[in-house]
Amino acid sequence: MAEPEEGVSVGKLLLAEYQSVKDEQKSRIGFRDNLLYVTLAVTAAIIAAAAQSKQPLMLLALPPVCIVLGWTYLVNDEKISAIGRYVRDELGPRLTQLAGAQGDFAAFGWEQAHRGDARRRSRKTFQCLVDLTAFCALPLAGLLVFWAGGPGGGLLVVLSVLEALAAVVLGIQIVLYARATHGAA
């Protein structure tokens, strides 16, 4: 009787890789979702401090905070989607083929099945609106209050205009990413 091989099979390697990328995806989801809460908390704190001190100048802190957190949110969201695509398009088919599966069987079927929900498109659209509000509209509203507050000095006005442009660029990136992933991720 032959002794069992001590090596690692391709299937075990693929399953280990699956577990590893799903762990990363899970971690990124938690981090990404917390970024939205952090953004709202920091925004509320800045607005409260500006209102309490009657210093609209403090609102100039909103755009950099929201833009950095928004960009970090967007990058993590993209990586979460990329992991899903990798599992659907690479790992699943390789494991299905290795298993010699026939018919309708596909490894990691949930990775594709949950994407067929009839309300997925509306959820994605609503999430895009939430992202635009938290990361772009709030800082732009703060800038409007700053601009309405009277003269802030030439350099501060230039800074505020640059911040507004950065918020608009982030908004464009959020919309472009949402449009690209409506059907793909």
Q: Quick check: helix, strand or coil at residue 53?
A: helix
**Within a domain: 3:** no
**Within a domain: 55:** yes
Between 180 and 69, name the one with better pLDDT: 69
**Within a domain: 27:** yes
The label of the residue with tokens 């981090």 reads 31
**Within a domain: 149:** yes
168 pLDDT band, cuts 50/70/90, is very high
63 pLDDT band, cuts 50/70/90, is very high
97 pLDDT band, cuts 50/70/90, is confident
| Domain containing residue 86 | 10-184
pLDDT > 70? residue 7: no
Let me know: does 68 contact 157? Beta carbons within 8 Å.
no
The pLDDT assigned to 143 comes to: 95
What domain count does the chain have? 1
- Mean pLDDT to the nearest integer, 83-88: 93
**Within a domain: 1:** no
The label of the residue with tokens 């990124």 reads 28
**Within a domain: 105:** yes
